[in-house]
Amino acid sequence: MVKLSGVTVAYGDRFILKDADFLIKSGDRIGLVGPNGAGKTTLLRVLAGEEQPDSGQVLIDNNTVIGYFSQNVGEMQGRSALMEVIAGSGSVYEIGLELEALEHRMADTSQMFSDADMERYGQLQTEFLARDGYDLTQRSEEILTGLGIGPDRFHEPVEHFSGGWKMRIALAKILALNPDVLLMDEPTNHLDLESIIYLEAWLASFKGDVVMTSHDRQFMTRICKRTVEVANAQVTSYSGDYDFYIREREIRREQLIATYNRQQARFAKDEEFIAKFAARASHASLVQSRIKALEKIERITLPVESKIMQVQFAPCVRSGDQVVVLKNLTKRWPMAQGGEHTVFENISGTVMRGNKIALTGINGAGKSTLLKVIVGLAEASSGEASLGASVNMGYFSQYSSDVLDPNKTIFEEVFDRVPMSTIPAIRSMLGSFLFSGDDVDKKIGTLSGGEKSRVMLACMLAVPVNFLVLDEPTNHLDIQSREVLLDALSRFEGTLMIVSHDRYFLKHLANRVFELDKGVLNIYEGDYAYYLHKSGRE
Co-location of 446 and 527 in the same domain = yes
Co-location of 219 and 361 in the same domain = no
Co-location of 35 and 163 in the same domain = no
Residue 354 lies in a domain: yes
Q: Is the pLDDT of residue 16 over 90?
A: yes
Residue 347 lies in a domain: yes
Co-location of 110 and 55 in the same domain = no
pLDDT, tens digit (0-9, with 9 covering 90-100), for 443-498: 998 887 778 888 888 888 888 999 999 999 988 788 888 898 999 999 999 999 99
The range of the structural domain enclosing residue 277 comes to: 255-296
Co-location of 110 and 147 in the same domain = yes
pLDDT of residue 51: 94
Co-location of 441 and 506 in the same domain = yes
pLDDT of residue 71: 83
Q: Is the pLDDT of residue 399 over 80?
A: no
| Alpha-carbon dihedral sign for residues 482, 487, 492, 493 | positive
pLDDT of residue 250: 93
Residue 186 lies in a domain: yes
Residue 305 lies in a domain: no
| Confidence class for position 351, pLDDT limits 50, 70, 90 | very high
pLDDT, tens digit (0-9, with 9 covering 90-100), for 405-417: 889 999 999 888 8
Number of domains in the chain: 4
Across the range 369-383, mean pLDDT stands at 95
Residue 309 lies in a domain: no
> Among 106-115, 166-175, 476-485, 509-518, whose mean pLDDT is lowest?
106-115
pLDDT of residue 130: 77
Residue 469 CB neighbour total at 10 angstroms: 26
Measured distance CA(74)–CA(25) in Å, rounded: 30
Measured distance CA(348)–CA(353) in Å, rounded: 17
Q: Counting runs of H as helices and runs of E as strands, what totals does the chain give? A: 17, 18
Spell out where 12-93 has E strands: 14-24, 29-33, 55-60, 66-69
Higher pLDDT, 57 or 419: 57
Residue 81 lies in a domain: yes
Is 531 within 8 Å of 516 (Cβ atoms)? Answer: no
Co-location of 26 and 105 in the same domain = no
Q: What angle do CA 444, 446, 448 make, to 5 degrees?
A: 90
Helix-helix angle 91-107:115-130, to 10 degrees: 140
Contacts of 119 (CB under 8 A, 6+ apart): none
Co-location of 527 and 403 in the same domain = yes
- Spatial CA neighbour of 450 closest among 186, 102, 255, 198: 186
- Spatial CA neighbour of 305 closest among 214, 231, 227: 231
Query: Quick one: 446 exposed, middle or buried, by C-beta within 10 A (0-12, 13-18, 19+)?
Result: exposed
Q: Is the pLDDT of residue 242 over 90?
A: yes
pLDDT of residue 32: 96
Measured distance CA(460)–CA(83) in Å, rounded: 44
Query: Quick one: 534 exposed, middle or buried, by C-beta within 10 A (0-12, 13-18, 19+)?
Result: middle
Across the range 184-207, mean pLDDT stands at 92
Co-location of 93 and 28 in the same domain = no
Single residue among 117, 150, 172 that ends a domain in this structure: 172
> Among 127-136, 178-187, 509-518, whose mean pLDDT is lowest?
127-136
Instruction: Tell me what the pLDDT averaged over the chain comes to.
Output: 90
Residue type present at position 286: L
Q: Is the pLDDT of residue 401 over 70?
A: no
Single residue among 117, 148, 172 that ends a domain in this structure: 172
Single residue among 118, 143, 172 that ends a domain in this structure: 172
Residue 368 CB neighbour total at 10 angstroms: 21
Contacts of 482 (CB under 8 A, 6+ apart): 215, 217, 474, 502, 505
Across the range 311-324, mean pLDDT stands at 92
| Confidence class for position 6, pLDDT limits 50, 70, 90 | very high
pLDDT of residue 458: 87
Q: Is the pLDDT of residue 33 over 70?
A: yes
pLDDT, tens digit (0-9, with 9 covering 90-100), for 490-533: 999 999 999 998 999 999 999 999 999 999 999 999 999 999 99
pLDDT of residue 131: 75
Is 176 within 8 Å of 85 (Cβ atoms)? Answer: yes
Is 407 within 8 Å of 443 (Cβ atoms)? Answer: yes
Q: Where are the alpha helices (DSSP H) in 60-188?
A: 81-87, 91-107, 115-130, 136-146, 163-177
Co-location of 138 and 51 in the same domain = no
Which CATH number characterizes residue 400's domain? Answer: 3.40.50.300
pLDDT of residue 3: 94
Residue 308 lies in a domain: no
DSSP helix/strand/coil, 328: strand
Across the range 28-49, mean pLDDT stands at 92
Helix-helix angle 479-491:449-461, to 10 degrees: 20
Question: DSSP state, 409?
Answer: B
| pLDDT more than 70, % of the chain | 99
| Confidence class for position 418, pLDDT limits 50, 70, 90 | confident
- Spatial CA neighbour of 214 closest among 4, 15, 501: 501
Whole-Å CA distances, 451 to 79, 190, 486, 527: 35, 18, 18, 31
pLDDT of residue 362: 86
Q: Is the pLDDT of residue 14 over 70?
A: yes
Residue 250 lies in a domain: no
Co-location of 345 and 385 in the same domain = yes
- Spatial CA neighbour of 193 closest among 149, 147, 144: 147
Co-location of 272 and 412 in the same domain = no
| Confidence class for position 538, pLDDT limits 50, 70, 90 | low
> Among 283-297, 347-361, 508-522, whose mean pLDDT is lowest?
283-297
